[in-house]
Structure 1
């Protein structure tokens, strides 16, 4: 049984849900223009697990993440972060929930150019008036390989290094869950592989929970599990994915040929 730095056994944590959707529905528009983006989706994201969400364009994968993260409203059903029900929360309560319990990593790095890497990492906590846990912060910095880059500003960092800063920022406040939306979309294959490796390591070594939306089968192969959406519904769910397994399922779902292994970040084979 693996134990995290806090003494919480990973195997035990993995039996609980960090986030849960029950019959989650999201509808845009009305009448003839109505679009059902999510159609009664029920899914759990386990603690200390790396989950990838995939599906053809328009399948609802980004909508699911945005609703689960409290970034978009819900038309019906339920969404929970831990034991907190998102439906019915006021804007101020949602803001506090996102600040205290959720970490975000986006395709755009969203770093402030005038701040150093360290200042960008601690910025959300500074805004909230909270001091970082120094031991935890040091461990996060070591995990993402930024110890010698903390005084550099974004313009002095490569794209991969900037995304590592964004990953460290998401990890620094010790959120209950991290949502990552196409985190390697702006990176070359080598930098993308590094960032995916760091996300993978944050689960294995820090006991973090990560949910990542991606279109890339190779990126998905870094996850412990892949959930597939089509037409707003979950249509498949596989554990221990390889890039080839994911590619085949995406081919069947879309009828197209997604990016083949070897053209993106170097995939995992486990």
Structure 2
């Protein structure tokens, strides 16, 4: 059954899924990862996507970001419909409109921090905006690490390089998939604070997939998934409120007493 789009705000939309289904396999091996998901993610906001393991949160992010195709439905980034784009169109979209931050930092080991940050612009044949580049580097605190290669940086510093790389091209939206998963609590807190500040100070749009209620508490809004459905959302979340909601989703999932949205 199709869910109703979660649109409790009149803010412009940065990314949108409309009746999105994602099915893997066929026959007895078929797995339905997303069941008619409709959700709008607001521009200039920090949205966290949460749910139990297997709820479809990473699948939704991959479909929204053009990293995976949908089985049915439509996906938009800004005014661009992602579904139906050619391979070349998807490449341009991911290069020009979307930024990525992953749990694995995905830095090239032979490049310096500065070269890793500027890599997306170099691939696109674009010159950096010097003022914006300096702002990004200063914000993530990498001014004295730009000539270092990844192996010379701590995990937190490597993730800050990845954050700067995602921001430097000024994408429509940045998707962050468990970006603090490989970091200690202090480094993780620094990264989450940076992401929150990039929304507040620069108007960036962040979509964070996480299992961590504390990480979700940095967001403006949390969207909850369970068994491939959007089942709830929360504004101005606290870690305690998010944890309580997740516990409720787990209880419903394990007892099978919840109604399908």
2:33 aligned residue (15, 32, 37): 37
State the partner residue of 1:191.
187
Equivalent position SS for 1:103? strand
**Aligned equivalent of 1:134, options 130, 135, 139:** 130
Aligned length: 244
Q: What is the aligned partner in structure 2 of residue 217 from structure 1? A: 213
1:201 pairs with 2:189: no
Secondary structure, in 3 states, of the residue corresponding to 1:40?
A: strand
Aligned to 1:154: 150
1:48 to 44, 48, 51: 44
Q: 2:64 aligns with which of 61, 68, 72?
A: 68
CA deviations 1:158-183 (Å, max 9, x no partner) are 10000000000000000000000000
> Which residue of 2 is the match for residue 232 of structure 1?
228
Task: Please report the TM-score for the alignment, with normalisation by the length of structure 2.
Answer: 0.92
Write the distance in 2 (CA, Å) between the matches of 1:255 and 1:142. Answer: 45
SS in 2 for 1:120: helix
> Which 5+ residue runs of structure 2 have no aligned equivalent?
1-9, 253-261
The offset of 1:187, in angstroms, is 0.2
- The answer for the alignment partner of 2:81 in structure 1 is 85
Distance 1:91 1:151 in 2: 34
Aligned to 2:174: 178
Deviation at 1:95, TM superposition (A): 0.6
> Alignment partner for residue 240 of structure 2, among 239, 244, 251?
244
Identify the residue that residue 20 of structure 2 maps to in structure 1: 24
Aligned-pair distance for 1:38?
0.4
**Normalized against structure 1, the TM-score is what?**
0.89
Question: What CA distance in whole angstroms lies between the structure 2 residues aligned with 1:220 and 1:253?
Answer: 16
RMSD: 1.3
Looking at structure 1, the residues matched to 78 and 151 of structure 2 have their Cα atoms a distance apart, in angstroms, of: 37
Shifted more, 171-180 versus 246-255: the winner is: 246-255
> Which of 11, 16, 19 pairs up with 1:15?
11
Gaps of 5+ in 1: 1-13, 257-270
Counterpart residue number, 2:3: none
Give the ranges of 4+ consecutive aligned residues of structure 1 lying more than 6 Å apart after TM superposition. none
Alpha-carbon deviation of 1:255? 3.3
| CA–CA distance in structure 2, aligned partners of residues 254 and 167 of structure 1 | 32
